[in-house]
Amino acid sequence: MTTEVKHTFEPNVAAQSHGGHDHDDHDHHDYAGDTIFGFWIYILSDCLLFGTLFAVFAVFSNSFAGQIEPTELFNLTFVAGETALLLLSSFTFGMAMLKANKEDMKGMLKWLGITFALGLSFLVMELYEFWHFSNEGATFHSSAYWSSFYALVATHGLHVFAGLIWMTVLFVHFKRDGFSEDNKTRLACLSLFWHFLDVIWICVFSVVYLMGVL
């Protein structure tokens, strides 16, 4: 009698245990999906922010107030270098994602590190550009044009800076927790964010710099 009860009980325990694992996996996938969906909502809100800044820039695109004009300062070769750095960083981030999908920690961290270096180089070039413009007399207060220019370009730069901080935090998380589901979700969200910044920069390059020298 005791043996029968034991044999009857063990499969039930196994079934409950298996069902518990399935339930946990389902809950985690739901959480990851909700997190990524929520991040898409954030991206849309950022689109509204940048859309507003582009609209303001368009309104003041000819408001120089007799001050220095962009044709006197813009160096397309320099800006093309910035653009190349950011576009290349998008490629290297894609490589990091491929390595993450294969759970290749060394490869993923290597490509993420290269992405970080490219993003930091972009920021250094942008800060140098701001310094150069200010020395030439094109400051935030020079005219409505330059106010809208700095508001737009600096906002993008702040987003890149935030992305670099996020990347640094992810380095720590991956070193500590490995390829946990939470870390994979965080990396996927950062990937969306980084590629979004590339798209915004292409718009900045086209609308601000190219049109500024035409």
In a domain, 191, yes or no: yes
Q: Please count the CA atoms within 13 angstroms of the CA of 194 that sit on its side-chain side.
A: 29
In a domain, 16, yes or no: no
Please provide residue 153's backbone torsions phi and psi, each rounded to the nearest 5 degrees: -70, -40
pLDDT digits (tens, 9 = 90+) for 148-171: 999 999 999 999 999 999 999 999
Q: Can you tell me the distance from the alpha carbon of 91 to that of 160, in angstroms, rounded to the nearest whole number?
A: 16
Domain that holds residue 127: 48-213
Locate 48 and state its tokens. Answer: 């509204």
* Rounded average pLDDT over 139-146: 95
In a domain, 29, yes or no: no
Say how many Å lie between the first and final Cα of the chain, rounded. 93
Q: Nearest Cα to 185, choosing from 68, 36, 38, 75?
A: 36
Ramachandran bin of 143, using left for φ above 0, alpha for ψ from -120 to 50, beta for the remaining angles: beta
In a domain, 11, yes or no: no
Q: Model-level pTM?
A: 0.84
Residue 139 has pLDDT above 50, yes or no: yes
CB atoms within 10 A of CB 136: 12
Cβ–Cβ < 8 Å for 123, 161:
yes
Which CATH number does the domain housing residue 152 bear? 1.20.120.80
Residue with more model confidence, 19 or 104? 104
Q: Can you tell me the distance from the alpha carbon of 6 to that of 8, in angstroms, rounded to the nearest whole number?
A: 5
When divided into structural domains, the chain yields a total of 1
In a domain, 62, yes or no: yes
Lowest mean pLDDT among 24-33, 135-144, 195-204: 24-33
Whole-number pLDDT of residue 10: 45
In a domain, 19, yes or no: no
* Rounded average pLDDT over 61-83: 94
Per DSSP (E only), the strands in the chain are: none
In a domain, 162, yes or no: yes
Angle between helices 2-59 and 181-204 (to 10 degrees): 10
Question: In the 8-state DSSP scheme, what is residue 70?
Answer: G
In a domain, 72, yes or no: yes
Q: How confident is the model at residue 14 (pLDDT cuts 50, 70, 90)?
A: very low
pLDDT digits (tens, 9 = 90+) for 29-57: 566 778 889 999 999 999 999 999 999 99
* Rounded average pLDDT over 96-109: 97
Q: Can you tell me the distance from the alpha carbon of 146 to that of 139, in angstroms, rounded to the nearest whole number?
A: 7
